[in-house]
Amino acid sequence: AQSVTQPDIHITVSEGASLELRCNYSYGATPYLFWYVQSPGQGLQLLLKYFSGDTLVQGIKGFEAEFKRSQSSFNLRKPSVHWSDAAEYFCAARLQGSARQLTFGSGTQLTVLP
Amino acid sequence: DGGITQSPKYLFRKEGQNVTLSCEQNLNHDAMYWYRQDPGQGLRLIYYSQIVNDFQKGDIAEGYSVSREKKESFPLTVTSAQKNPTAFYLCASSKGGGDEQYFGPGTRLTVT
């Protein structure tokens, strides 16, 4: 079955430190991949997406993600975290060329220490 | 401003009552979606609609119903048949069925 896994339920980093959030997918073919961020009690905001081409994708708010086919991964990174980055982050995927909908990971809660 | 609105933000109901959650978008998107979010879980798809007057069940449709009479609107009814309706409900839309989805601010439903 198709699935998206975020192995880290909760991550804590200090402000100014680098960040990497992990995402692995299990699909028969390379899916389209997305990262979303959710602040408490709010909807989700799209950070970035990967459809094809360059495997390093730039997004909003200084985030980037790297697609690695060999590892079935799409990890989210930020070189220097700000206190306002504290939120929950969701990785999502869907099959290319399919009308089927997004499959979400269970999310990673990010805490930023001052 | 273009966007997706969900109302109300908080909703309280007694067990056994049906309740309808509103979702409106002015993005001129064809596709709309309803998700349910529970603590510690990702989003689970309830229903989706790719065009007006057509919709499909998602992974957890039991106890829910929808309609899509207008392109801008996709209301979700949580019926008394839904065994555990207390949750955070998110509506989303996309230009087409395969494009990235944009989310509304959500409605938190509490049933007691």
| Residue B3 half-sphere exposure toward CB, CA atoms < 13 A | 9
Least Cα separation, residue B66 to chain A (angstroms):
17
Find chain B residues with C-beta within 8 A of A9's C-beta: 40
pLDDT tens digits, residue range B92-112? 999 887 788 999 999 999 999
Q: Answer whether A84 touches B (CB < 8 Å).
A: no
Contact at CB, B106 and A42, closer than 8 angstroms: yes
Residues B84-97 pLDDT 10s: 999 999 999 998 87
Mean pLDDT of all residues in chain A? 92
What's the mean pLDDT when you consider all of chain B? Answer: 92
| CB-count exposure of residue A15 (10 Å: 0-12, 13-18, 19+) | middle
- Indicate whether A99 pLDDT > 80: no
pLDDT digits (tens, 9 = 90+) for A2-40: 889 999 999 999 999 999 999 999 887 888 999 999 998
Alpha helices (H) in chain B, listed in sequence order: none
- Write down the pLDDT at residue B1: 62
pLDDT band of A98, cuts 50, 70, 90? low
B58 touching chain A per CB within 8 A: yes
